[in-house]
Amino acid sequence: MPVPTLDDLGDLDGRRVLLRADFNVPVADGEIVDDFRIRAALPTIGYLLEHGAHVTACTHLGRPEGAPDPAYSVEPVRRRLAELAPPVELLENLRFDPGETADDPAFVQRLIEGQDVYVNDAFGASHRAHASVVGPPRFLPSAAGRLLQREIEVLLPLRDEPARPFVVILGGSKVSDKLGVIDSLLEVADALVIGGGMCFTFLAAQGHRIGDSLVEFDHVDTCRRLLESGAAIHLPTDLTVLGPGGEIGRPDAGGEVRQIGADVPDGWKGLDIGPGTAAAFGDLIAEARTVFWNGPMGVFEDPRFAAGTRTVAEAMAEARGFTVVGGGDSAAALDSFGLADEVDHVSTGGGASLELLENGDLPGLEALRGAPNAH
C-alpha cells in the first residue's frame, strides 16, 4: 500500500511541519511512567530537524470529554520532549477541543494554520477518522513518518504473504472486540490460538461449564460457527481459577486458586490458562515461522494469574520465527516481563494493528494517499 513517506517530501529547509504523534503515554502524579511512545517518534523528529524543518507536534492524551482538563494536560509530555528534542513545540491535548473527534473542518483549519507540511507518525491513532489524522492531508503535502511506515511494512505482509506456519494468538477480555479480525485471519493463519477472557465464550460454545467466568452469551453462536468451520482453532484444555470470595488483584482477600480442566464450577472464575495449555501454546509458537500475538492469556496484573501470559511471552522471545506483538496489553505484559527487546516487532497500536489486519487499511493511511503530493 503506497503512502507518501518522508523521502517524498523534498526540500524541508525552513518549512513548518505539523507532526501528528502518538504521545498518549501513562502519567501518574504528573510524571510519565513510560516514555516509549515519545522515544518511538525520535527517528521521524530527527529526520525533520536534520533537514531544516521547524516542527510542531500534536497528540491526544487520555480521554478528556472535549474540554480542557488539567488531569490530561500534555505538560509532562512537553517536559520530556524538551529533553529529547528541544526544538520541537508541542500543542495542548487535541481532545480538549470537541472538533478533534468530530473531524470538524474549522478545527482542522486552526491546526494547519501557518503550517507547510503534515507528517503522520501516530499509528496508534490512525484507525480513527479524527481531525488531526484525516484533516491535514486534505490541504497540505503529507507523509507517513518512520514509525508509521515501519508498522505498515511489518503488519500488511501478515495479511498477504506470511512465512508459514503462521500462528495467531489472541487474548484479552472480549471476543466481540476481535470477531472481525478472527474472520480475516482465519483465511490466512495456519493456527488460531485463543486465551484470555474471550476463550470462555468459545468454551461455552463447546458445551463447557464456565462458572462465573467472563462470557458474552450473545456471541456463543458465532463462536460455535467458527469452531465448526474446520479452522485450526486451539482453545485451553486447562485453566487457573479463583474460588468464591476471592478478588482479582487482592490475594489477601482469600479465595482458593486452583488448576482445573476446561470446566469451571459454579461460583468460580477462570482467570488464566493452565500450565498444560500454556505449554501447548508455547510449542505452537516454537514451530511457527511467523507469529502475531494480541491480548494477554489471563489477568497478568495479578501475579496469581500471570503464568499463562508469561509462558507465551517467553515463547515469543525464544521463537526462531518472525514475531510480532500487536500493542496494547500484550505489549505491556511483554514489557513487564522484561522481554520487549526479544521480539522482532512491538506495535505501538493495539486497536490499530487489529484493524489494519482486519481491513487492510486505516483512515489515516487512506488520508495520506489522498494528499496533494500523492497524485
Pair (200, 313) in one structural domain: yes
Virtual torsion, Cα 119, 125, 128, 129, nearest 10 deg? -20
Pair (118, 180) in one structural domain: no
Task: Kindly state whether residue 56 falls inside one of the protein's structural domains.
Answer: yes
| The amino acid at 265 | P
Pair (114, 220) in one structural domain: no
Pair (245, 293) in one structural domain: yes
Pair (315, 168) in one structural domain: yes
Residues designated as active site: 37, 174, 328, 351
Task: Kindly state whether residue 31 falls inside one of the protein's structural domains.
Answer: yes
Please give the tally of structural domains in the chain: 2
Task: Kindly state whether residue 184 falls inside one of the protein's structural domains.
Answer: yes
Pair (265, 368) in one structural domain: no
Pair (93, 176) in one structural domain: no
Task: Kindly state whether residue 327 falls inside one of the protein's structural domains.
Answer: no
| The amino acid at 350 | G
Virtual torsion, Cα 321, 326, 330, 332, nearest 10 deg? 110
Pair (243, 173) in one structural domain: yes
Q: Which residues contact 298 (CB under 8 A, 6 or more apart)?
A: 171, 195, 196, 240, 271, 272, 273, 305, 306, 307, 308, 309
Task: Kindly state whether residue 352 falls inside one of the protein's structural domains.
Answer: no
Pair (12, 67) in one structural domain: yes
CATH number for the domain that contains residue 201: 3.40.50.1260
Compute φ and ψ for 242, nearest 5 degrees.
-115, 130
Structural domain boundaries, residue 115:
6-148+361-374
Q: Is 345 exposed, middle or buried (0-12, 13-18, 19+ CB in 10 A)?
A: middle
Pair (270, 202) in one structural domain: yes
Tens digit of pLDDT at every position of the chain (375 positions): 689 999 999 999 999 999 999 999 999 999 998 898 999 999 999 999 999 999 999 999 999 999 999 999 999 999 999 999 999 999 999 999 999 999 999 999 999 999 999 999 999 999 999 999 999 999 999 999 999 999 999 999 998 899 999 999 999 888 898 898 899 899 899 999 999 999 999 999 999 999 999 999 999 999 999 999 989 999 999 999 999 999 999 998 889 999 999 999 999 999 999 999 999 999 999 999 999 999 999 999 999 999 999 999 999 999 999 999 997 888 889 989 999 899 999 998 888 999 999 899 999 999 999 999 997
Reported as a single tens digit per residue, the pLDDT across 3-31 is 999 999 999 999 999 999 999 999 999 99
Angstrom distance (rounded) from CA 291 to CA 306: 20
Q: If residue 137 lies in a helix (H) or strand (E), which one and from where to where? A: none
Task: Kindly state whether residue 155 falls inside one of the protein's structural domains.
Answer: no
Contact 274, 245 (CB under 8 A): no
Reported as a single tens digit per residue, the pLDDT across 77-110 is 999 999 999 999 999 999 999 999 999 999 999 9
Pair (194, 281) in one structural domain: yes
Task: Kindly state whether residue 351 falls inside one of the protein's structural domains.
Answer: no
Pair (277, 139) in one structural domain: no
Task: Kindly state whether residue 338 falls inside one of the protein's structural domains.
Answer: no
Grid cell in block for residue 255: 479465595
Count CB atoms within 10 A of the CB of residue 66. 14
Contact 365, 152 (CB under 8 A): yes
